[in-house]
Amino acid sequence: MSNASFSSAVTLSLVPEAAGGPFVFWDDLAGNARLIKSMGFDAVEIFAPSAEFLRSLDLKKVLEEAELRLAALGTGAGWVLHKWTLTHSDPSIRGKARDFVGELIKHASEFGAPAIVGSMQGRFEGNVSRQQALAWLREGLNELGGMAAAQGTVLLFEPLNRYETNLINRIEDGVNLLKSLETDSVRLLVDLFHANIEETSTATAIEKAAGHIGHIHFVDSNRRAAGWGQIDFKPIVQALKSVGYRGYLSAEAQAHGDAEGAAKQTLRSYRSLA
Ligand code: LER
Ligand code: MN
């Protein structure tokens, strides 16, 4: 279902080890793709163990048959399954993280979609300074952003709340990081759950980030479906409209065992905010 301003998407995880994570649908790619389409979503955002795994499931055929678009591919399984990050102190691990994200960028680009760097930003700790970790993060994003551009897509970078990273928590910090890159092919992913923890005003932060926002994780304060927590979505959606954002509102939420219920609630909120 589309409205004038945005497109709708919902998350699907194919990573059992991510149990408890903020994904609405789990497993059964083909069955869930049909269900997601029949409910009225425009697209699915997929959290997968690897690009190779998605190829083995023939994602292309599955989405074509369901007539469903791909909104984005998450890369956090590189962290969840392997503990790889772009800022790890071991250069061979940083290399593995870059290869893992690079393969997902390549696969996403075949659908005209972006990949997301969220958890793969890692954190600074031990002997690694904040400055050093940010330098490695820039290095990784420059390479991966360049790769995305060469494949005709962009890369999404997601600030995370303070309990998940000590690198980039706020939208403004994310914009400053993007401005410091050599590539202009990295866009900001604003996850409203993280922003609710970190921002003074999510709406104002979005207005200040005009031109940099490429994706929204549409979710409430308690990480439940939009409308089932305490966020006031109207000023946020107004801010997104005012900066000319026309991308996805993608439901990255915990469904607590009722995927269809959470998906329906997301659509109710989405439609009321159109
Ligand atoms: C993690 O908290 C998150 O929001 C994901 O989108 C990043 O991988
Ligand atoms: Mn997110």
Mean pLDDT of the chain: 97
Which of 168, 191, 223 for a ligand 1 pocket mutation test, highest count of atoms within 8 Å of Cβ? 191
57 alpha carbon – ligand 1 mean position (Å)? 23
Would the pLDDT of 27 be above 70? yes
Q: Write the DSSP assignment of 126-180 as a string of letters.
A: TT--HHHHHHHHHHHHHHHHHHHHHTT--EEE----TTT-SS--SHHHHHHHHHT
29-61: per-residue pLDDT in tens? 999 999 999 999 999 999 999 999 999 999 999
Would the pLDDT of 3 be above 90? no
- Please state the rounded mean pLDDT for residues 143-147: 98
Report domain extents, the chain. 7-273
Would the pLDDT of 1 be above 50? no
Q: Record the pTM.
A: 0.98
pLDDT at site 149: 98
**CATH homologous superfamily for the domain 7-273:** Divalent-metal-dependent TIM barrel enzymes (3.20.20.150)
191 alpha carbon – ligand 2 mean position (Å)? 5
91-105: per-residue pLDDT in tens? 999 999 999 999 999
How large is the C-alpha radius of gyration of the chain? 17
Contact 7, 43 (CB under 8 A): yes
pLDDT at site 4: 58
Ligand 1 atom at minimum distance from 161 CA: 2
Which of 164, 168, 198 for a ligand 1 pocket mutation test, highest count of atoms within 8 Å of Cβ? 164
